[in-house]
Structure 1
Amino acid sequence: MPLQVPDLLSSNLCSLRGGEERFAFSCIWEIDKNANILNTRFHKSIIKSKVAMTYEEAQMTIDDKSKNDNIAKSLRYLNMLAKILKKRRLENGALVLASPEVKIMMDSETMEPLDIEVKKMFQTMSMVEEFMLLANISVAEKILQDFPECACLRRHPVPPSSNFDPLIKAGRHLGLEIKIDSGKDLAKSLDDAVKPDNPYLNTMLRILATRCMLQAVYFASGTLQKEDYFHYGLAVPLYTHFTSPIRRYADIIVHRLLAVSCGADATYAVLLDKSKTNEICQNLNYRNRMAQYAGRASIAFNTHLFFKGKLQDEQGYILYVRKNALQVLIPRYGLESTLYLARKGESSNIFEYNEEDQTQRAKDVVLHAFDPVKVRLSLNSDNIQHEKFVLQLVSPFIEGFSVPPIEEMDTSCEPTNDSGKKRKSTGDEKKNKNKKSPKNKN
């Protein structure tokens, strides 16, 4: 739920900067070398950070054995503790799920997308995440203790077993048993789901598992029974959001409660009103969904701009099989799109769908979830208001359906529509064929 915080606040005054004093709200632990918490306290503070680093810079400092200054030693010690905390979480049944996150490289002058790539992951990201999770859990325990009726908490409901049917069927085809009796069983099943001949398999299973989940939501503590507070994904009995008050209003509510708890502020009527807190939580949940939709729409918009006028063959994987389509993931761009097997409202006369096995058969070719495929990727701009990606199958080759690789194509081939058939060129397209591409001025 992004707040429209001015840049002066979000990137300067409210952020830790190297060598500068900043007001903060701190959760401080005394932790032994085995990552056991001996004591926890909360208070308003002033922090003067030694240095500001990107995740990549921090990772390079940890990995560089020639660096043994205080910062390098501290980072390595924090990383060691984070690994213990994460191991303990996973042993308790916390899930490691996945969703393709992309980074769009923009031209600094024109603000047009230059490239799309999947975000790089660093161990330091996990290190920071573990301590953020621990802070959120610690704060949740504190505010619930002091405000049992009106604490703003966050829960993740247990999904109904029917949600996991696509995941279980996909695993069965691969000879993998996906157990869903508990979060711990699911986590172990996902950890064990590895095949050397398909290095991307485990990631796809985790992406599919993510689709089976229910949405995590905010709630007021006094509106539910304690057994319903549980966070399924993190496998913790209590959780809240405390660590990002710049971009989430929920964290601001939690800060207000915590400030009262540690004597840094006074309470007021609305803060202790259970029904008012619950009303705010419902609005937060709505705003959270809208922010997610907006984020996805922004990525989709810039991805469309990047692919406009391009025709590319890319390696992909079938994420799941539908009655008249295949959902395909293209790892290079973190892009997921639909490969239709028939026109909308029509049945395919080439493919035969097996709902029980979740497969599509075309003569001797059988397509399952997680099978590798090569697809032709292009953007259909016939309707400028509803541009959409068009996928065509390149391999495996299916007579009467697949298209030849780009290098084998006749240069006179016309653009195709959603079903892979040729469509008539528009007047603008015919004119543009005779135009030379403008040279890059940069």
Structure 2
Amino acid sequence: MPKTKTSKNTSGPKRARQLRADELPTREQLLEALATEPDVKGKRDLAKIFGIRGEMRKPFKAMLAELEGEGVITRTRKALRRTAALPAVTVLDIPTDADPDDLHAFPAQWNDEEGERPRVQVLGGRDARVVPAPGDRILARIDAGEDEIPHYTAKAMKILDKPRRAHIGIVRMDEDGARLIPVERKQKEMRIPAGDLGDAKDGDLVEVEVKLSGRLMIPRAKVTNVIGNPMSEGAISLIAIHSYEIPYRFPAAVVREADEAKEAGLKGREDWRDLPLITIDPADAKDHDDAVYAQPDEDENNPGGHIVYVAIADVSAYVQPGSALDREAYLRGNSVYFPDRVVPMLPERISNDLCSLREGEPRAAMAVRMVMGADGRKRSHSFHRVLMRSAAKVSYQQAQAAIDGQPDDKTGPILEPVLKPLWAAYEAMTKAREQRGPLDLDLPERKILLDDKGMVRDIHVPERLDAHRLIEEMMIAANVAAAETLEQKRSPVMYRVHDEPSGEKLSALRDFLGSLDIAMKKSDAVKAKDFNGILAQARRANNIEQVSEMVLRSQAQAEYAPENYGHFGLNLDRYAHFTSPIRRYADLIVHRALVKALDLGTGGLSDQEALKLPGIAQHISATERRAMLAERETSDRLLAQFLSTKIGARFEGRISGVTRSGLFVRLLETGADGFIPASTLGEDYYRYVEEQQAMIGERTGEKFGLGERVTVRLLEAAPVAGAMRFELLSEGTRVNPSSIKRGSRRPSQSRSFKGRRKK
């Protein structure tokens, strides 16, 4: 083979490899050249390296095409390169529509210039410590195999929380054009160049990509998608829905499957249609998934006892494992409740029709019959798959009013035969509850009422009635019964678990309580009753708000798990969610497990589902946390919008959080949260004293502590971010400055010597 001339230019492909005129390079030689020759740009460069000429060009070109078709090499624009290999440990995203029985994933981060993202097979099995599911993001150990073409497999090491979308915001028009108001509090505003606005208009919620421009690399936004206009659509929740990527539109296949569902009949069920079960719900409830009834127990061996019936909509009759409905319900994990809308776990045909226990209409249900002693303790129970018919639909307020002597046309006829026996059973059950001693943190929950435009009309704390507590107590009893039955049948269980507080959190709480002269035992072996004793001391000392806040912070977060470690807050050894399968996937899993364990017909838990319980538990625990954050942020935005017209107004509030950066204050009237930077506190250096959860003046001893009541002025409200900034108007309490322990760090922004605030 004639030698190739060597160019004096240092750029371009290097010398030709020594091949015969009729010889093609091997696949290994080609791949080595692509990996080691940085100047190779395409076929022509490779041909020069190997001296390919004349008749050899055609088979050489075919060889390259074959390698490209197999995915061994990648064409990017006009260049060829060897396909990039995945690192040994990689973050992968499993598509939401992946087959749960044959999972695959793709790299979460991928340079498109490297070609198409490689597909990775996710391995599982009985011995897998982490069991992922469709829609999950995982940290995985990668095996590429030993072939030329990587055949990637992965073993999940950890399920990760997916990050929120990086850049969404609201478009605002001004005299200079358009700007983006980010939904993230920590992100700054960006300008949107005129040519990058697209079809977006003032007030639109948009997705953008960020570009850096100019020598100063100033970030600019380019609109890539117009999501909608929360103001004109009256749905502030749109921001949180898209920020947290909450699925809110049902795919056509899911809607079609729901619409085609046939109403369950009596076949394979017990007939409970004559049992006067009733639903007790909020007055504005659109679906009714639980019904109750109680009667005196006539068994002479149980004097003063009661029989309590709890019937729950039988979602498992309509949502079969592996169906489109099931996959979508799993993906959502739970319903999400916003002040302006509900994002349901299941389509309306299921949640508001077939599985809503409507008054006077036959409905399929899973029911539990519980025998209670006069002391309120459960003596026995049994589960049944039934066809029931609600005798009445009443609100909490109606039921309570009837018991209090003011029945109406609806509750009058059922007062003696239904409501009074229910209350009698409840009164017995409260004895057992008091004996058990669950954590008694009865914190008020505000309800935001909206007007026709989706803006705040009113904020109030609904009265906590015995009717609420009755339903709560009967649902807890049913949930315990479900867990006990599944354990007795040696069935897999999706537990609702709540771990005891960590030693570190208990130590912090103990230090805080010590600063208030409230005693707490030094042992880390605490029970819910111990916290109730602390709360009782706090009520007597008139600082219940401070102590309640810290006790709440000391608690672990409840979650779902196939392993049981009890429910600390309820002081229960075993607990499972059974009573809301319309809105929680965990409850649907428990229903299926009961159907399978008790041989109650079709729709039971499959063996494949049972193997995946660890992954399902991790996923639905994450979707629950996502829902809580999205709901809280939406409330913050609505409240910031509501108060944005009251800049400069004074409010009463309580310090709800203390950090090195400043104070968080929750307004008493509305529950709105805002921030006071440490640099604006007053005429002193303020140190953050963690053990007291307070900021204390270094010189004056002025103290601002958790739970203390303060007066503030609203300085700024940012509705899109749901943030508010306050000015502190009231004086703090005075303590000895020596109470600041050594090592308590000064806030990074607390160096201001501003004068005392004007009242």
TM-score, structure 1 normalization = 0.79
Counterpart in the other structure of 1:41: 382
Select the residue among 564, 570, 574 that pairs with 1:238: 574
Instruction: Note if contact 1:231-1:237 (Cα within 8 Å) is conserved in structure 2.
Output: yes
Q: Secondary structure at the match of 2:551?
A: helix
Q: Which stretch of the first structure deviates more once superposed, 156-165 or 96-105? A: 96-105
The change in CA–CA distance for 1:403 and 1:10 in structure 2 (over 3 A counts) is farther
Q: Which stretch of the first structure deviates more once superposed, 70-79 or 298-307? A: 70-79
The change in CA–CA distance for 1:169 and 1:56 in structure 2 (over 3 A counts) is farther
Instruction: Report how far residue 248 of structure 1 moved.
Output: 0.5
Does 2:494 align with 1:152? yes
Deviations 1:396-421 (A, max 9, x none): 2899455444xxxxxxxxxxxxxxxx
Instruction: Report how far residue 358 of structure 1 moved.
Output: 3.7
Counterpart in the other structure of 1:129: 472
Does 2:686 align with 1:351? yes
Structure 2 counterparts to residues 17-416 of structure 1, below 5 A: 17-64=358-405, 71-73=414-416, 74-108=418-452, 110-148=453-491, 150-179=492-521, 181-183=525-527, 184-195=529-540, 198=542, 201-220=543-562, 224=563, 228-266=564-602, 270-271=606-607, 274-311=610-647, 312-342=649-679, 349-362=684-697, 363=700, 365-381=702-718, 386=721, 388-396=723-731, 400=754, 402-405=756-759
CA distance in structure 1 between the aligned counterparts of 2:428 and 2:471, rounded to whole angstroms: 13
CA distance in structure 2 between the aligned counterparts of 1:7 and 1:269, rounded to whole angstroms: 24
Instruction: Report how far residue 241 of structure 1 moved.
Output: 0.6
Deviations 1:307-333 (A, max 9, x none): 222233222122343334223232322
The change in CA–CA distance for 1:251 and 1:266 in structure 2 (over 3 A counts) is same
The one of the two structures with greater contact order (alpha-carbon pairs below 8 A, sep at least 6) is 1
2:476 maps to amino acid: L
CA distance in structure 2 between the aligned counterparts of 1:397 and 1:36, rounded to whole angstroms: 49
Q: Secondary structure at the match of 2:695?
A: strand
Instruction: Report how far residue 160 of structure 1 moved.
Output: 0.7
Instruction: Report how far residue 12 of structure 1 moved.
Output: 3.7
Instruction: Report how far residue 10 of structure 1 moved.
Output: 2.4
Instruction: Report how far residue 353 of structure 1 moved.
Output: 4.0
Instruction: Note if contact 2:636-2:673 (Cα within 8 Å) is conserved in structure 1.
Output: no
Instruction: Note if contact 1:208-1:319 (Cα within 8 Å) is conserved in structure 2.
Output: no
1:122 maps to amino acid: L
Deviations 1:219-265 (A, max 9, x none): 22xxx4xxx52111111111111000100111111111111233222
The change in CA–CA distance for 1:295 and 1:69 in structure 2 (over 3 A counts) is same
Counterpart in the other structure of 2:311: none
Instruction: Note if contact 1:116-1:303 (Cα within 8 Å) is conserved in structure 2.
Output: no
CA distance in structure 1 between the aligned counterparts of 2:688 and 2:561, rounded to whole angstroms: 42
1:33 maps to amino acid: A
Instruction: Note if contact 1:395-1:402 (Cα within 8 Å) is conserved in structure 2.
Output: no
Deviations 1:159-204 (A, max 9, x none): 21211344333332332224464122122222332137x4xx3244
The change in CA–CA distance for 1:207 and 1:404 in structure 2 (over 3 A counts) is same
Deviations 1:341-395 (A, max 9, x none): 227xx998443444444433342633333322111235433xx754521111121
Q: Which has the higher helix share?
A: 1
Q: Which stretch of the first structure deviates more once superposed, 73-82 or 116-125? A: 73-82
The change in CA–CA distance for 1:400 and 1:269 in structure 2 (over 3 A counts) is closer
Q: Secondary structure at the match of 1:35?
A: coil
Instruction: Note if contact 1:309-1:379 (Cα within 8 Å) is conserved in structure 2.
Output: no
CA distance in structure 1 between the aligned counterparts of 2:359 and 2:605, rounded to whole angstroms: 39
CA distance in structure 2 between the aligned counterparts of 1:253 and 1:95, rounded to whole angstroms: 27
Q: Which has the higher strand share?
A: 2
Instruction: Report how far residue 27 of structure 1 moved.
Output: 0.9
Counterpart in the other structure of 1:426: none
Q: Secondary structure at the match of 2:449?
A: strand
Q: Secondary structure at the match of 1:52?
A: strand
CA distance in structure 2 between the aligned counterparts of 1:367 and 1:7, rounded to whole angstroms: 49
CA distance in structure 1 between the aligned counterparts of 2:682 and 2:758, rounded to whole angstroms: 24
Deviations 1:413-433 (A, max 9, x none): xxxxxxxxxxxxxxxxxxxxx
Instruction: Report how far residue 299 of structure 1 moved.
Output: 1.3
> Which of the two has higher C-alpha Rg?
2
1:326 maps to amino acid: L
Counterpart in the other structure of 1:435: none
Instruction: Report how far residue 294 of structure 1 moved.
Output: 1.4
The change in CA–CA distance for 1:193 and 1:88 in structure 2 (over 3 A counts) is farther
CA distance in structure 2 between the aligned counterparts of 1:268 and 1:22, rounded to whole angstroms: 19
Q: Secondary structure at the match of 2:590?
A: helix
Instruction: Report how far residue 267 of structure 1 moved.
Output: 7.4
1:175 maps to amino acid: D
Unpaired stretches in structure 2, ≥5 consecutive residues: 1-333, 336-343, 734-752
Instruction: Note if contact 1:97-1:207 (Cα within 8 Å) is conserved in structure 2.
Output: no
CA distance in structure 1 between the aligned counterparts of 2:679 and 2:444, rounded to whole angstroms: 27
Counterpart in the other structure of 1:432: none
The change in CA–CA distance for 1:378 and 1:265 in structure 2 (over 3 A counts) is farther
The change in CA–CA distance for 1:364 and 1:187 in structure 2 (over 3 A counts) is closer
Q: Secondary structure at the match of 2:473?
A: helix
Counterpart in the other structure of 2:246: none
The change in CA–CA distance for 1:26 and 1:348 in structure 2 (over 3 A counts) is farther
TM-score, structure 2 normalization = 0.47
Instruction: Note if contact 1:326-1:341 (Cα within 8 Å) is conserved in structure 2.
Output: yes
1:235 maps to amino acid: N
CA distance in structure 1 between the aligned counterparts of 2:603 and 2:366, rounded to whole angstroms: 17
CA distance in structure 1 between the aligned counterparts of 2:511 and 2:464, rounded to whole angstroms: 30
2:596 maps to amino acid: V
Aligned length: 390
Instruction: Note if contact 1:113-1:303 (Cα within 8 Å) is conserved in structure 2.
Output: yes
Q: Secondary structure at the match of 1:58?
A: helix
The change in CA–CA distance for 1:281 and 1:358 in structure 2 (over 3 A counts) is closer
The change in CA–CA distance for 1:325 and 1:86 in structure 2 (over 3 A counts) is farther
Q: Secondary structure at the match of 1:193?
A: helix
